[in-house]
Amino acid sequence: MLNLFIGLLAGLFGGLVGIGGGVVMIPLMVGVQKLTQHQAHGTSLVALVFTGLSGAATYFLNGSLDFVAGLLLAATASITARFGARSAHALPEWQLKRAFGGFLLLVALLLIVKPYLAGLAHPATGGLKVLVLLGTGVFTGFVSGMMGVGGGTVMVPAMVLLAGFGQHTAQGTSLLAMVPAGAAGAYTHWRLGNVVFRVVPLLIPGILLGTYLGGTLANRLPDGTLRIVFALLLVWTGVRNLRARAKQAASS
């Protein structure tokens, strides 16, 4: 039942703010289920494939999904996710947490100041927009495979700030793109021995229910509220990772 609850929380957060829920699952699997950091990353990616499927379907029913953008993001993310998974397997845990914690804080800052950048930014269009999406997929896939997350932390800000997508459409599209990218990363982690399948069966139903509830709620909230919720979640996760890094570095 504990895994069911972890999946429910992960799905709820994932559907609400357009991320895979790995930022919820990974700390709980490490702290409560006593999985290693690498096992939590690999197992999280397996579960996040189902988060993406369920979440994308919910956003599609609410008219907040761009299939073409999702395919462009997934085209490159599916390739680099495998390299990210191998990098995670090779690097010490505290180094991964330090880099990702700082990255999350930067993304949160960009989202918070987004309204003040509206007059300065000119979202990409046409061929440049395609290149932005493909480039975002490259970075997203690597981060997804390395950190065991769906990649919404990268895709959503890039689509909103650089490509002119609304917050709802960006979140729905990121959930769609994470399905093939997450599958590629999960397969690589499995080959490296970083997937614990015994915790997956109860994670999946919790994720499916939580993602449906979160996605439905997200489409009833205003754009600004979603953006702030997303930023606050990133700040919390980033600070947590930075603190974990400091403790580990001090004890090493």
Per cent of the chain over pLDDT 70 is 87
Report pLDDT for 204: 85
218: which 2 tokens?
Answer: 């997200």
Interacting residues of 20 by C-beta distance below 8 A, sequence separation 6+: 10, 14, 44, 48, 51, 52, 149, 150, 151, 152, 175, 178, 182
Supply the DSSP symbol for 123.
Answer: -
- Stretch among 111-120, 190-199, 208-217 having the lowest mean pLDDT: 111-120
User: Of the candidates 140, 150, 184, which has an alpha carbon nearest to the alpha carbon of residue 13?
Assistant: 150
pTM: 0.76
Looking at the 3D structure of the chain, how many domains does it have? 1
| Closest alpha carbon to 156 in 10, 9, 13, 17 | 17
Share of the chain above pLDDT 90, in %: 21
Q: Which two tokens stand for residue 21?
A: 């829920």
| Distance, CA of 71 to CA of 132 (rounded, Å) | 13
| pLDDT attached to residue 190 | 93
Q: What is the CA radius of gyration of the chain?
A: 17
> 226: pLDDT confidence band, cut at 50, 70 and 90?
confident
Per-residue pLDDT at 121: 57
Res 249: pLDDT: 46
Which pLDDT does position 15 carry in this prediction? 67
Q: What pLDDT does residue 250 have? A: 46
Among 32-36, 193-197, 203-207, name the most confident range.
193-197
Locate 8 and state its tokens.
Answer: 């429910």
At 136, the amino acid letter reads: T
pLDDT per position as a tens digit, 6-46: 888 877 876 676 566 777 788 788 878 888 888 988 998 89
Indicate the burial class of 109 (C-beta count within 10 angstroms; 0-12, 13-18, 19 or more): middle
Biggest CA-to-CA distance, the chain? 51
Average pLDDT over residues 187-199: 91
pLDDT per residue over 72-89, tens digit each?
A: 999 999 999 999 999 988
For 88, the domain range is: 2-251
Residue 234, pLDDT score? 76
Tokens representing 66? 């761009």
Q: Say if residues 74 and 185 touch (Cβ distance below 8 Å).
A: no
Most confident option among 11-15, 94-98, 108-112, 133-137:
133-137
- pLDDT per residue as tens digits for the range 143-164: 889 888 777 777 887 888 788 8
The residue assigned the tokens 């459409």 is 169
